[in-house]
Amino acid sequence: MDWLRLKLAEAIGGKQPINKKLLLVIGAVVATVVFLVNGMTSAREVPVANQPSIAPDQVVVSAATIYVHIVGEVTAPGIYQLESGARLMDAIFAAGGLTKTADQASVNLARELTDGEQVVVYKFGAAPMVVGSAAGGAAQISLNRASAAELEDLPGVGPALAARIIDWRTANGGFKKKEDLLSISGIGDKLFAGLKDQVVL
């Protein structure tokens, strides 16, 4: 490059006649240098505006929830929203705990709850007894405590009718007498006659 500067200065200063070939060489060298400089500049990384990213600790995962209706001997009966997989003891705690007259044996505090169910906590001596049938066969089923699967064990009761029984129980605060079954669509006198001796309140 020093030689190139010297030759260029001599040509400009008139110390040496201008050579066309020299000018072409100089022009080519200058063009090459400009090209290389531009290439290096364009090759530099162009900053890109940072896009907002979500850190793993900012991701919120909401647990599934269920609704349970707690009635009877609890401090604050009502409908409670709990996390899916909650146990009955969680619902009792949410309802303020058992009253002094509650029969803890009338419920299974360790069982897992399902969405939309009703739980009845009875007083001492008021919980329905589940007894054997007159023929000594299967145990009778509690209309106020049985699950849908347990109700389906009754003769003539399928999934749809079991669901209607539970819906009626939830809407009306439980069965007060066996004859309340006649208020449910799909249960007539004939079916009720086959059920009444196999259920208790």
Q: What residues does 123 pair with on adjacent strands?
A: 102
152: confidence class by pLDDT, cuts 50, 70, 90 = confident
Mean pLDDT of the chain: 75
**Type and span of the H or E element at 199:** strand 199-200
pTM of this prediction exceeds 0.95: no
Q: What share of the chain is helix, strand, coil (3-state, %, to 5)?
A: 40, 15, 45
> pLDDT per residue over 54-69, tens digit each?
666 666 666 788 899 9
> pLDDT per residue over 26-46, tens digit each?
666 666 766 666 666 554 555
Query: If you average pLDDT over residues 65-78, what whole number do you get?
Result: 90
Q: Tell whether the model's pLDDT for residue 76 goes beyond 90.
A: yes
CATH 3.10.20.600 fits 62-127, yes or no: yes
> pLDDT per residue over 107-122, tens digit each?
888 888 888 888 888 8
Question: Would you kindly state where each structural domain of the chain is located, as residue ranges?
Answer: 2-42, 62-127, 128-201
CATH of 128-201, one of 3.40.50.2300, 1.10.150.320, 3.40.50.300, 3.90.1660.10: 1.10.150.320
